[in-house]
A and B are shown apart, each in its own frame.
Chain A
Amino acid sequence: MSEETPSAEKPAEEAPPANPLAEAFAKALPKVALETTQGAIDLLISVKPGDLHNVLSTAKRNSDLSFDFLRNLCGVDYEDEGFEVVYHLYSYAHGYNVTIKCRLGRDNPKVDTASDIWRGADWHEREARDMFGIVFEGHPNLVPLLLPDDMLDHFPLRKDNPLAPLEEWQGELLGGEIPNAGYIPPGSGFNAGGGEAKEESA
């Protein structure tokens, strides 16, 4: 089925355990610390924030890699472990897939923009700034895209901004006397803190 990556079938006669794509990355970027693991479908590579722009631009420009298509770019909030920016790349020339991840600090998350490498990164980065407050340095126009223009200090997809208290806050804003604002019916699958809901005995 579709479980295997297209990269796995290309140079099949090489040494089986090492991933040829991971080797190609190591060859193209000998001085950079890359941490590679195999994900459910794609190869995952973790890099440090300082190396990120170099890794991404090499991934696009190196002829052995040529990742010309930025599939997806998004932020993830790992609470105490900081934020992560995730780049899903695809190479039309070789049919390779790779996921490049970069962990950022909890306060003042900053990373270099990728919009000079792929123009498609422009809107994705604006969205990640809207939702997580990750600042992409060097971005030409980092203004809110999906959120209102003046909503610069509120990052809805952060985990410290849970859903139910937000409703409560909206209830207060609407007059404070809405009786059931923020009430979570038991067993509804919602819980204020994110994370684990209470298990039913089913």
Chain B
Amino acid sequence: MIEHELETIDLNINIGPQHPATHGVFRMVLTVDGEKVVEVVPHIGYMHRGAEKLSEHMDYRQAIGYQDRTEYLAQFNAEMCYVQAVEKLSGLVPPERAEYIRVILAELNRISSHFMFLGAFGTDLGVFGTAFTYAFRERENVLDLFEEVSGDRLMYAYMRPGGVAWDVPRNFKERVRWVCQQALIGANDLDRLLTDNEIFIMRTRGIGVLSIEDAIDFGATGPVLRASGLKHDLRRAEPYSIYDRFDFEIPVGRHGDSYDRYLVRLAEVRESVRIVLQAVEQMPDEGPWLPDRVPPRLRPAAGEVYMRCENPRGEYGIYLVSKGATQPYRLRIRSSSFCNLSALREMTIGHYIADAVTILGSIDIVLCEVDR
């Protein structure tokens, strides 16, 4: 009889960079023990295009387009953060009507971004088609409205320091109300499809738990932080623009797992609809959308500002250093996905390989925003 001593070796599994489960070009190397993950090494940077560097070489208004390309699922939110940072330094004050247009578009963008998540998350779990098509039906309505407003389906470049580029179409309010109605129907459909779905619950409950202390320590924000149980939303904690005028709830989870992250986002769709409907009600029918005098070339005062906004994926920050020139001296984009993704290792270790895909999906990353 020959005796063999069984040897245990580390087995590395490479996922990505071209893999449907990674939502873009992202690579992670999992070290596995059987089916269990014992170590995760994420590799990012495949989409690094130097948006910060490019913005330093452009006029303040030209750099708006790079915000769309950085955060390509919540473009209006990213633009809004950037133009507010420029406004803080240049002293431009947007007119009332422009503030309402911005808030309506930003909240609708949150809805479309969360629909994207709800559909893609279903796909990650293997229910391809069902959730995805329902979510995309509603997302399409929102994108149609954005196209009517800005002329583009994805790269809007519609906001300007001091307001927005041009007025909204005449039937804007009716269209927004209709889109909100449809979004609620879509949210209810997805709710019925996924929330009580046995398979869905088994794949997500207790998977990828992030404790509240870890979430804060890693700088996780947005739905990831709120799913862990901290009721913190920049729209409430440090209200920017006109968010102090609206009545809305901040949904929070209790367990910090993938299921709670899903529930928080689904609830946020409904809260965003509430904000949009209030904003449409209060929005003045007539009025300017830019201040009377906007200089042809902006020269914000020398100084620095860190402007932050609550984006669908968390805190999006623009750190802008100006030296009084026509171009930003330094533009730093604080990406919410980047910080949320840095907690991936903490969430994934100890789970199965198949769950790694679920966890990555539940963080809802945008790789262009991670890499900038």
Contacts and interface: CB of A to CB of B under 8 A. Distances in A.
Interface in B345-366: none
A86 B320 CA distance: 12
B53 A156 contact: yes
**Interface of chain A: mostly helix, strand, loop or mixed:** loop
B303 interface: yes
A144 B371 CA distance: 13
B334 A72 contact: yes
B240 interface: yes
B371 to A, nearest CB: 6
Given A120-B219, A163-B54, A71 B304 contact: no
B305 interface: yes
B45 A71 contact: no
Interface in A184-202: 189-191, 194-197, 199-200, 202
A74 interface: yes
B304 A74 contact: no
Contact of A77 (B59, B219, B330, B334): B330
Most A CB within 10 A of own CB, among B54, B59, B306: B306
B62 A119 contact: no
A76 B330 contact: yes
Nearest to A157: B53
Contacts of A162: 57
B292 to A, nearest CB: 18
Interface stretch (A12-20, A24-32, A35-43, A49-57): A35-43
Given A68-B216, A163-B53, A163-B57, A88 B317 contact: yes
B371 A146 contact: yes
A97 B81 CA distance: 18
B161 to A, nearest CB: 14
A42 B306 contact: yes
A147 interface: yes
Contacts of A189: 57-59, 62, 326-327
B319 A74 contact: yes
Interface string B32-64: 000000000000110010101110111100100
B150 to A, nearest CB: 22
B188 interface: no
A180 interface: no
Given A92-B230, A118-B217, A202-B296, A194 B326 contact: no
B332 A72 contact: yes
Interface string A121-148: 0110000000100000000000011111
Contacts of A195: 325
B339 interface: yes
Contacts of A99: 306
A199 to B, nearest CB: 7
A1 B372 CA distance: 30
B342 interface: yes
Contact of A2 (B238, B297, B303): B238
Interface residues of B, number: 50
A99 B239 CA distance: 19
A76 B322 CA distance: 12
Interface in B136-163: none
Given A2-B240, A2-B241, A157-B52, A190 B57 contact: yes
A191 B216 CA distance: 41
Contact of A191 (B57, B88, B321): B57
Given A163-B54, A190-B57, A76 B334 contact: no
A6 interface: yes
A197 B45 contact: no
A39 B305 contact: yes
Contacts of B48: 146-147
Interface in A153-202: 156-157, 162-163, 189-191, 194-197, 199-200, 202
B303 to A, nearest CB: 6
Contacts of A40: 88-89, 303-305
B338 interface: yes
Interface string B216-231: 1111100000000010
Contact of A71 (B44, B88, B315, B330): B315
23 contacts: A1-B240, A2-B238, A39-B304, A39-B305, A40-B88, A40-B89, A41-B307, A68-B216, A69-B216, A71-B308, A71-B317, A72-B319, A72-B334, A74-B332, A74-B334, A88-B319, A92-B232, A119-B342, A145-B44, A146-B371, A157-B53, A190-B57, A197-B325
Given A72-B319, A86-B319, 18 more contacts: A2-B240, A39-B303, A69-B216, A70-B219, A71-B219, A71-B315, A88-B306, A122-B342, A146-B372, A163-B53, A189-B327, A191-B57, A194-B57, A195-B325, A196-B326, A197-B325, A197-B326, A202-B297
